[in-house]
A = this chain, B = another copy of it.
Amino acid sequence: MLSKKTKYAFHALTYLGKNRDQKTVLIQDIAAEYGISHKFLENILLELKKAGILGSKKGKGGGYYLIKEPKDVALSKVIRLLDGPIALLPCVSLNYYEPCIECQDEGKCGLNKVMIQVRDEMLNVLENKSLADILDKE
């Protein structure tokens, strides 16, 4: 399951995507819409900004706005950013690889090989679905 952090990130991105006509959107507006703690959401939006997905403007009239096109915000990107690996085991993660200590020879591990296939099929879905797909269905 995704963490609440990631779920909230998707909600926030959806809200920002729906309000692209506005220059900026306030944290507190998003927080109020979904009943999320203002401070908690702040951290999430910051991470999305650092990843180049959102932009922000300080001061009066400031707020957050979407920088990327919704179709360019893949689900995989958001999940990796806030939740970490998509792979089901550390030994098959592309971005967060770690060997399994119980595994003598990864090349002979059937579980490893099957999980690589699972990972590839999951990635195929998560890289090809994007914020645009979410917005289309709202």
Contacts and interface: CB of A to CB of B under 8 A. Distances in A.
9 contacts: A7-B89, A10-B111, A11-B111, A35-B101, A35-B102, A75-B118, A117-B129, A118-B126, A122-B122
Interface residues of A, number: 38
Interface of A: 1-2, 7, 10-11, 14, 34-36, 75, 84-85, 87-90, 100-102, 108-111, 113-114, 117-118, 121-122, 125-126, 129, 133-138
Contact of A125 (B11, B111, B121, B138): B121
> Could you say how many copies of this chain the assembly holds?
2
Contacts of A87: 1
Contacts of A137: 110, 113-114
B134 A114 contact: yes
B100 A114 contact: no
Given A7-B100, A75-B118, A125-B122, A110 B85 contact: no
Contacts of A11: 102, 111
A136 B110 contact: yes
